[in-house]
Amino acid sequence: MSIDEHHIETTRTARYYSSGSFDEVKELWYVLHGYAQRAENFIRNFQPIVSPGILIIAPEALSRFYSKGFSGEVAASWMTREDRMHEIEDYIRYLDNLYAEVKFRIKRPPERIVAFGFSQGCPALLRWQAAGNSPVNEIVIWSGDVPRDLPFGKFKTSTERSRKWFVNSPSDEFIKPDIFAESQEMLLANGIPFEAISFEGGHKIPEIALKGLRGKF
């Protein structure tokens, strides 16, 4: 007897965190955490820039697991290599739904929307901006890389009006300089402009570097 694989779509409940008021939003940030992180903890990195008029939204990835096998803190991941295309479709749909939810909750369109990806959140963000329906003004790739299978043509077209920022530390223990350089080369080869920013601090989001980036908007 053969064993056949099948797929169905099903509804599930996703979780996100916010920091700042939904009233009178002038600057809206969507911040995507990295592998084995939780949105509740990740959003704390952005407290230094929260002020009246700024709203931070941190979606939590749909796949959760125990960080130490059968115990430890619960962490989350945007995807694995198993059934990857459906996982990608699922999180793009999820992020689009979240974008629509937040748009409904705020009173008027903000002056600026920022999409910020960190580590594993970077490929997720880029795929979302390529294939989703959630336009933003600023795209920030922080301590992450560009997936080789990104649909560059779609990404270029859908983000034509978005500025791209590539932020990396030379001492990053995960995103080495050669990975960073390869990602830049892929964007340039596909005619996608960006501004590269370097900071000291490793695989983290230092307050001074974050404020420095925001000062360039």
Residues 133-143 have pLDDT tens digits of: 999 999 999 99
Give the model confidence (pLDDT) of 31-46 as tens digits: 999 998 999 999 999 9
Q: How many angstroms separate the CA atoms of 196 and 180, rounded?
A: 10
Alpha-helical segments (H) within 80-206: 84-105, 121-131, 152-158, 177-189
| CATH of region 16-214 | 3.40.50.1820
- Mean pLDDT (the chain) is 95
Q: Please check whether residue 112 is in contact with residue 28, taking contact to mean a CB–CB distance below 8 angstroms.
A: yes
Q: Which amino acid is at 12?
A: R
Which pTM does this prediction carry? 0.95
What angle separates helix 84-105 from helix 121-131, to the nearest 10 degrees?
Answer: 70
pLDDT on residue 208: 97
Which has more pLDDT, 106 or 80? 106
Tokens representing 200? 């000291």
* Residues 187-191, mean pLDDT to the nearest whole number: 97
pLDDT tens sequence across 72-82: 788 899 988 88
